[in-house]
Structure 1
Amino acid sequence: MFFFIFLLSSCKIFSQQEATVEKSIFNIQLGTVGVWLNNELKISNSLALRAEAGLEPSWFVGNGSVWHPNFRLEPRYYYNLSKRSEKGFNTKNNSGNFLGIAVNYRPGTDVFSSNNKGIESYSIVPKWGIRRSFAKNFNYEAGIGFGFRHETDYGNYGEIDLHLRIGYNF
């Protein structure tokens, strides 16, 4: 009897796989303002490197807006994948909570403008966020962070990164 119980519990342990980030995920995402193409590449079981190119606006009070490219590298630590898996929640396509450090480069070029020129800038923003997958290949993300921004012609500022996006995984 003891051997039978041991055998059943061993089968259960070996059949469970550790929750891990996906090997590689390509996405297109639309945000409250902007569009982005990105790839998350697995570094370890809970760490992914996100590379992203997007088009987003900058607003100038009383003077219109500029739509400019944004290039981002962001290591992400998905800290609750195992817990989600144990509770039976979806972890597909990196569905979990994450901590990240977004490193952005915005060249001084503009794609669309209303009387303004783009401003070259660099930023580093630590952030927290969630990512969830639904309906097979769709996802949504929400995140918030506060960091440092350097504008080449104007100096240094604080930067708030607040995003809400919906996307499709290829």
Structure 2
Amino acid sequence: MKKILLLSFSLIATTLFSQEKQTENVWRINFLNPGVEYEMSTGNTSTLSIGIGLGYSVSYPHTDKTVSSSGAITSFNPFLDIQHKWFYNFDKRKNKGLNTTNNSGNFVSARFLTRGESLFGNSNGTDGLDFAVGPTWGIQRKYGKNFHLLFDMGPIYYFDVNGNGYYFPLMLQLNLGFDL
């Protein structure tokens, strides 16, 4: 617990006392999970990312009503994804001559994700909306003129509008797209 508190304090101190503003405002179009995202600078080394779109996902355990299902339970849902990211390696990347453009760096974040009812797939899922919250660790990079890659992972707590909630040890996210 002390390590988590120390890491949190270090991230906040780094964000507040960094000498140079290093984050940028960036619009993105993602094509792996089709959508649009806006990442806005909230501090020297922090951003708030808001994305909407149509995402492919696997049902969370305990939420699928198809008891006799076999194989992967897939779903295509409209989503709203909000992440507050704290970048921690901009200076190290710059010192090595690596790119930090469009917030290329490693980060930890607080993530909130909500999905609407499945549009198609083999999942009955939850009624209406479900939500997920949790911390993540991730990387994002800009390659070439404007190609964007984001990968992050972390534990989540997910719940639905009926009051059902569960903990899931690892949620993964992969986004590929273009910075505008």
Q: TM-score normalised to the size of structure 1? A: 0.77
Counterpart in the other structure of 2:113: 104
Match of 2:31 in 1: 30
Deviation at 1:58, TM superposition (A): 3.9
Deviation sequence 1:50-83 (CA, Å, 0-9, x none) = 0011212344543954311111211000111112
Deviates further, 46-55 or 64-73? 64-73
Change (3 A) 1:145 1:117: closer
The question of whether the paired residues in 2 share the 8 Å contact of 1:145 and 1:161 is answered with yes
2: CA distance between counterparts of 1:65 and 1:45?
39
Shift of the 96–19 alpha-carbon distance from structure 1 to 2, 3 Å rule, reads farther
1:54 paired to 2:53: yes
Q: Contact conserved, 2:21 with 2:43, CA < 8 A, in 1?
A: no
Report the number of matched residues.
150
Residues in 2 aligned to 1:162 and 1:28: alpha-carbon distance in whole angstroms: 19
Q: TM-score of the superposition, structure 2-length normalised?
A: 0.74
| 1:45 corresponds to 2:44 | yes
Q: Which runs of 4+ in 1 moved over 4 A?
A: none
Distance in 1 (CA, whole Å) between partners of 2:94 and 2:84 is 22
Shift of 1:117: 5.8
- 8 Å CA contact 1:68, 1:118 repeated in 2: no
Unaligned runs of 5+ residues in structure 2 are 1-18
Q: Report sequence identity in percent.
A: 27
For residues 64-113 of structure 1, the C-alpha deviation after alignment (integer angstroms, 9 at most, x for no partner) is: 54311111211000111112112211000110001111111223x33224
Aligned to 2:99: 90
Root mean square deviation of aligned Cα: 2.3
Structure 1 residues 115 and 39: alpha-carbon distance in aligned structure 2, compared to 1, 3 A threshold: closer
CA contact (8 A) 1:66 1:118 kept: no
Q: State the Cα deviation string for residues 38-61 of structure 1 (Å, max 9, x = none).
A: 110001110100001121234454
Report the counterpart of residue 176 of structure 2 in structure 1: 166
SS in structure 2 of the partner of residue 163 of structure 1: strand
AA at the equivalent of 1:86? N
Whole-angstrom distance in 1 between the partners of 2:123 and 2:146: 39
TM-aligned CA distance change 1:153 to 1:18, over 3 Å: same
Q: Is the 8 A contact 2:158 2:165 kept in 1?
A: yes
Structure 1: stretches of 5+ with no match in the other structure: 1-16
Pairwise mapping of residues 1-170 of structure 1 onto structure 2 (< 5 A)? 18=20, 20-22=22-24, 24-31=25-32, 34-56=33-55, 57-59=57-59, 60=64, 61-62=69-70, 65-107=74-116, 109-114=117-122, 116=124, 119=127, 120-153=129-162, 155-159=164-168, 160-170=170-180
